[in-house]
Structure 1
């Protein structure tokens, strides 16, 4: 664990909110780049991985570093999900393993583990590559060629508002 972050070296807090801030962009050659790896402003020469619009790398001292869409008139509703997908792929590529939880069956108050938790190790991860008629978020490929399809599910909930009366 480095910098207090158990998932890696980069700060991924910007994509946990409801804004259109990104931590990943696409360089002109198609590579995925983190905001920490590019120059500030339009000099980053990056585009949004979701909508392909120009990005600005914002690296000020008041907010966490992030990409923002250059045009404020059109919003990109896929930014948070796009960040999660790239972050998940980055973690999976670096760790090269994934734990699948156990499958548990319950019937009439009895439970049975049908399949125990299993750790899969793999050779590499592919992000959103077409497999026949589907486009999985991530495809993990083991050393023997077995493919494991991973769907990244992004959720958030509205903060609870509590009211107390005296």
Structure 2
């Protein structure tokens, strides 16, 4: 298991502005990627021994980069929701059950008008808009709650604050 501060960067931005996985780029500087946080040049490290990851290129000044495992977890949760368009949520306290939500559409980082807030995920299910916020270290603050209440929209906050990564790469790394 790994703590968030030991998680390696596995997502970056490619030359067309898309978020890409380390598994889908060329090795080294040929990846043509930049950091999601600081826009610094990255190189893909795709060796045979260690987990594949991006690192800042040695000529790049990454001193002010704020990338963290929190950023990575945020991205992975949003990617999961975008790909699978489903979520299971708990219902009740005394006799808890669960509800499977199958979204018709998912939008990432879409501005919510007229609040000008940008929820992590906006999902649409049977004509209803559901906002999803991903908590890793910072929960939805009071002002954001008030803003969401004003527009009468359902909000789910997914709490990953106690999450620990488990390295699932025990199988051989993919060959290029």
Q: 1:124-157 deviations in whole A, cap 9, x for unaligned?
A: 322222213312112222252x221112222358
Larger radius of gyration: 1
Of 86, 89, 100 in structure 2, the residue corresponding to residue 100 of structure 1 is: 89
The equivalent residue for 1:124 is 105
The equivalent residue for 1:151 is 133
Q: 1:52-98 deviations in whole A, cap 9, x for unaligned?
A: 22211111122100111223651533331221122112211222211
When the two structures are superposed, what TM-score results if normalisation uses the length of structure 1?
0.69
The equivalent residue for 1:22 is 9
TM alignment of 1:1-166, pairs within 5 A: 17-19=4-6, 21-70=8-57, 71=60, 73-74=62-63, 76-104=65-93, 111=94, 117-131=98-112, 132-144=115-127, 146-154=128-136, 155=161
CA distance in structure 1 between the partners assigned to 2:109 and 2:21 by the alignment: 18
CA distance in structure 2 between the partners assigned to 1:28 and 1:118 by the alignment: 40
Structure 1 unpaired stretches of 5+? 1-12, 105-110, 159-166
When the two structures are superposed, what TM-score results if normalisation uses the length of structure 2?
0.65
Secondary structure in 2 matching 1:55? strand
Q: 1:141 to 1:60 in 2, by over 3 A?
A: same
Q: 1:103-142 deviations in whole A, cap 9, x for unaligned?
A: 32xxxxxx476xx532211123222222133121122222
Question: How many pairs align?
Answer: 136
